Amino acid sequence: MASKSAVLLLLRRELRPSSSRIPRTNASLSTLVRPTRRSTGLFSASGRRDSRFLALTPRGQGQFRLFSQTSQRKLTDENGNFDPTQMDRESDEVDVCIVGGGPAGLAAAIKLKQLANEAGNEEFRVILLEKAGEIGAHIVSGNVLEPTALNELLPDWLSEDNPSRFEHATPAKGDKMRFLTKNSSFPIPMPPQMNNHGNYIISLNDLTKWLGERAEELGVEIYPGFAASELVYNHDGSVRGVATNDLGLGRDGKPKESFERGMEFHARVTLLGEGCHGSLTKQVIKKYDLRRDSQPQTYGLGLKEIWEIPPEKFRSGEITHSMGYPLPSNTYGGSWMYHFGDNMVSIGLVVGLDYPNPWLSPYQEFQKLKHHPLFKEVLEGGKCISYGARASTRAASSLSRNAPSPEAL
């Protein structure tokens, strides 16, 4: 049987009102989309609509109210005009609602479903909302993976006996730490925490997509392309869940003919895994004053490129971290170069966003870095095949533990 949220979200995408009048009942709908028994979510982790949802069943084998039936006279603006943004949202009850389809959100979803399935509670509903069009689309990081947590979560993630194993991990084979001057570099001592023995060089984008597939196999409902726009609260001020964004708004913020009201997900626990400076996380922090007695969060901007280089220059598993040039001494930051996969090199530069020089351009500094002899020697003769930039948190900021809403994490 389709989950209520799966049916509603699919119908929202497929149905459009033929005029500016917003329909308030489903009396005119002759069919209802239903999945096969094995289906767990409306869309696959890749963002494509699951073909299992294409089967239609006759009307009457399961009906859901699609739109609020609130009287139209209560939905008028100050001039008496009908305002569809005042309509009640449809809602769905779930056990856990996770906002954000990054590694943290997916790992939490997987663990929760593992525990529920082990306890025999296969009806335990975990949903995950991701604003990107597909899982992993907004993931940019390098990276070098320390596998302890993943080994505990999915022990066979690299096992040759696992047909669904992750196939894009390059074992780390060597570490270098360099201090860069304008035209040269020299080795500096390696801090113990930078030792990467036993770690793997991966694409976090690939790993996130792989985690999404494993989550769906366990029964997690994943909805890419739906952004959570606001938190929903109970009367006592505790977090009740989230609401997705309204669609079909014009540039002036007014509804167009294609307007669609967002949907609410009410959950026993709401987990926010939005990443750096998430909008809902900021709402919770402000509402419950979670920054009190804590240090301010610091941020950085990371710029990254993936290059395909000549085979004779490729050194599989080599990890190089560097500091110094091109950044001035009063600016926090550093750079990296990882050899992974088949003749691939990941290079990047992180610049602290508290840099004091307002004319400093992280992009221009990254261009300088690629012309430094340490990087130029590797990149020359290769080609850039992908690039990206992303803000990130640079230092942990401990929040107050006296949060008055245990329903949100």
Pairing of strands 298-308, 318-324: unpaired
**Distance separating alpha carbons of residues 223 and 132, to the nearest angstrom:** 10
DSSP state string for 126-167: EEEEESSSSTTTT-----EE--HHHHHH-TTTT-TT-TT---
Going edge to edge, which strands form the sheet with 170-171? Answer: 144-145, 200-201, 170-171
pLDDT at 175: 94
Question: What is the average pLDDT across 269-291?
Answer: 88
Contact 262, 244 (CB under 8 A): yes
Domains (range + CATH), the chain: 4-134+211-288 (3.50.50.60), 298-395 (3.30.9.90)
The encoded tokens of residue 141 equal: 């990081």
Looking at residue 14, the DSSP 8-state letter turns out to be H
pTM of the model: 0.79
- What pLDDT band is residue 100 in, cutting at 50, 70 and 90? very high
Average pLDDT of the residues of the chain: 81
pLDDT at 131: 92
Nearest to 306 by CA among 350, 268, 337, 273: 337
Contact 289, 401 (CB under 8 A): no
SS3 per-residue string spanning 27-81? CCCCEEECCCCCCCCCECCCCCECHHHHCEEECCCCCCCCCCCCCHHHCECCCCC
Least confident of 334-338, 347-351, 401-405: 401-405
Question: What is the average pLDDT across 46-60?
Answer: 35
More reliable by pLDDT, 405 or 382? 382
Q: Determine the Cα angle at 347 with ends 344 and 351, to 5°.
A: 165
Q: What is the pLDDT of residues 172-190, one digit of tens each?
A: 999 999 999 999 999 999 9
Pairing of strands 263-272, 344-352: unpaired
The encoded tokens of residue 53 equal: 């949802």
Q: What is the pLDDT of residues 131-159, one digit of tens each?
A: 999 998 888 887 899 999 999 999 999 99
Contact 275, 102 (CB under 8 A): yes
pLDDT at 57: 31
Sequence-distant (≥ 6) Cβ neighbours of residue 20 within 8 angstroms: 257
User: How far is C-alpha 256 from the geometric centre of its chain's CA atoms?
Assistant: 29
**Most confidently modeled of 130-139, 291-300, 367-376?**
367-376
pLDDT at 81: 66
